[in-house]
């Protein structure tokens, strides 16, 4: 007879089965972690811990930081073009524009400015206002100074028509500078510039209010990005979908020589910030307009910060009208916390700059000076004591002006 008993060698009386079942059941519960024993008994068996008390090690939290540095209009008037000419070598060089700000700029991870001239080659001649075309060696100097991104969407993008747009893009890319705001093809215009630094992915978008009445060639709207709120909002969304941690929008807008933004600037900035822009960099007025912090409450209740500078003024130019020789180096520190991957604007700083024009070797020369450093050190070989008095005044005025929105609009904004 086949024996189907589970205890073939030791037949167990049926009366013992309930006890056996209890022992088996208790063992299963014990092993699986359901502690049915009193506290004291559980303490005697420390090698088997209840599941609840087993904790997986959490990933170690850490954060990374990267710095965005932005400046306003890099202009190239006729006298500036001449200032870099060497008649012996028949070449142009512009490093001296940036010598005194190179260290500050080079400390940035993303370093961006607005190139308000074409670099269209020597064939059509080098000219300043009103149709700008500068030697491509300007881009060498810009790269040398620490820049890695330039906005090319501005009212002078088409100063040498389509050819100028294309040649400028080529000259920048040849020097490993990312252009943003103009494009050589439709496909290129649809790509979003994303640059990763220290595990932080920043998207860059750039647009201009217009092209000084020079028409964009028919069917080639892709050449220059014009300000179109709906399009910008779509581009911001696309950047976020593509994984951008932070979206920076450069806007060439506003009224020239106005030290405060107009209603249209303010409205556009507000709408873009609401639509997901994190940093807005304004240029075009040729004078500095203040910056402002924003705190946005998202639909899910989360809050997000943003910062906008309405105009960074002229970084370099031969403009002499009041305030046009002043600019700002705008710095935004971004912090990303892991493992949450949250982003925070951890610090904002605006360093006023001044364009020093001086005569040397029989011609006019130009250089950008960081005001605070210069008035603190007072050891510049080209400045006289009376210059420092003026520069100290400029520095105080500029610091008050740049920060003025954050003092006036208390409660609406949160300062860092």
Distance of alpha carbon 267 from its chain centroid, rounded?
21
- Residue among 182 and 305 whose Cβ is closer to Zn ion: 182
H/E element holding 47?
none
Is 367 one of the binding residues for Zn ion (CB under 5 A)?
no
Contact track, Zn ion, 289-328, x by CB under 5 A: ----------------------------------------
What is the smallest separation between the CB atom of 295 and Zn ion, expressed in angstroms?
A: 30
* 151 vs 154 by CB, closer to Zn ion: 154
- The beta strand positions in 102-231, using DSSP E, are 110-115, 149-151, 178-180, 193-197, 200-208
* Binding residue for Zn ion, selected from 67, 167, 284, 401, defined by CB under 5 A: 284
Q: Is 160 in the site for Zn ion (CB under 5 A)?
A: no
Least distance between Zn ion and beta carbon 208 (Å): 8
> Which part of the chain contacts Zn ion (CB under 5 A), choosing from 276-284, 313-321, 359-367, 392-400?
276-284
Nearest to 74 by CA among 131, 104, 117, 103: 117
Q: How far is the CB of 151 from Zn ion (least distance, A)?
A: 11
Output the residue with the shortest Cβ distance to Zn ion.
284
Residue number with CB closer to Zn ion (154 or 311) = 154
Of 183, 202, 184, 152, which is closest to residue 335 (Cα–Cα)? 202
Binding span for Zn ion by CB under 5 A among 16-24, 281-289, 361-369, 390-398: 281-289
In whole angstroms, the minimum distance from the beta carbon of 332 to Zn ion comes to 22
Q: How far is the CB of 322 from Zn ion (least distance, A)?
A: 18
For residues 152 and 305, which CB has a smaller minimum distance to Zn ion in the complex? Answer: 152
Stretch that binds Zn ion, among 10-18, 155-163, 190-198, 243-251 (CB under 5 A): 155-163
How far is the CA of 123 from the CAs of 93, 116, 119, 120, 167, in angstroms? Answer: 18, 19, 11, 8, 11
- Between the alpha carbon of residue 398 and those of residues 87, 318, 369, 401, 415, the distances in Å are 38, 19, 14, 5, 18
User: Taken in order 51, 52, 53, 55, is the CA torsion positive or negative?
Assistant: positive
Instruction: Read off φ and ψ for residue 414, nearest 5 degrees.
Output: -120, 120
Q: Which residues pair with residue 360 across a beta bridge?
A: 363
Is residue 196 a contact partner of residue 223, using CB atoms and an 8 Å limit?
no
Is 155 a residue that touches Zn ion (CB under 5 A)?
yes
The stretch near Zn ion (CB under 5 A) out of 145-153, 172-180, 277-285, 308-316 is 277-285
In the complex with Zn ion, the residue whose CB is nearer, 75 or 142, is: 75
Structure token pair of residue 238: 């696309």
Token couple for 405? 């929105």
| Contact region with Zn ion (CB under 5 A), list: 260-268, 279-287, 292-300, 373-381 | 279-287
Site of interaction with Zn ion (CB under 5 A): 154-155, 284
């Amino acid at each position: 007879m086949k024996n189907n008993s589970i205890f073939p060698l030791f037949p167990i009386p049926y009366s013992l089965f309930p006890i056996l079942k209890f022992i088996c059941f208790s063992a299963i519960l014990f092993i699986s972690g359901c502690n049915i024993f009193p506290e004291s008994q559980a303490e005697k068996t420390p090698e088997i811990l209840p599941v609840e008390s087993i904790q997986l090690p959490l990933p170690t939290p850490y954060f990374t930081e990267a710095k965005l540095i932005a400046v306003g209009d890099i202009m190239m008037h006729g006298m500036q073009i001449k200032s870099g000419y060497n008649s012996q070598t028949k070449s142009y060089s512009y490093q001296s524009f940036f010598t005194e700000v190179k260290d500050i700029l080079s400390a940035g991870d993303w370093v961006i400015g607005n190139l308000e001239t074409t670099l269209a080659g020597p064939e059509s001649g080098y000219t300043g206002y009103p149709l700008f075309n500068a030697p491509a060696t300007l881009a060498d100097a810009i790269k040398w100074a620490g820049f890695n991104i330039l906005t090319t969407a501005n009212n002078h993008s088409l100063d040498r028509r389509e050819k100028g747009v294309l040649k400028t893009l080529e000259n920048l890319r040849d020097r490993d500078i990312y252009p943003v705001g103009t494009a050589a093809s439709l496909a290129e215009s649809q790509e979003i510039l994303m640059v990763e630094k220290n595990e932080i992915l920043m998207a860059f978008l750039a647009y201009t209010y217009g092209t000084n009445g020079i028409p964009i060639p028919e069917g080639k709207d892709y050449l220059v990005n014009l300000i179109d709120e709906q399009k910008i909002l779509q581009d911001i969304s696309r950047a976020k979908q593509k994984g951008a941690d932070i979206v920076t929008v450069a806007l060439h807008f506003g009224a020239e020589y106005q030290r405060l933004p107009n209603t249209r600037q303010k409205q556009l900035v507000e709408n873009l910030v609401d639509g997901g822009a994190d940093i807005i960099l304004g240029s075009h007025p040729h004078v500095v307009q203040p910056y402002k912090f924003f705190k946005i409450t998202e639909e899910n209740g989360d809050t997000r910060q943003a910062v906008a500078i309405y105009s960074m003024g002229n970084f370099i130019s031969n403009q002499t009208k009041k305030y046009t020789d002043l600019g700002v180096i705008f710095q935004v520190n971004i912090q990303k916390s892991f493992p949450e991957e949250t982003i925070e604007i951890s610090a904002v700083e605006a360093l006023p700059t001044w364009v020093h024009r001086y005569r040397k070797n029989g011609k006019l020369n130009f250089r950008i000076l960081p005001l605070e450093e210069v008035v603190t050190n007072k050891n510049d070989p080209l400045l006289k004591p009376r210059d420092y008095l003026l520069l100290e005044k400029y520095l105080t005025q500029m610091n008050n002006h740049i920060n003025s929105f954050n003092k006036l609009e208390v409660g609406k904004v949160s300062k860092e």
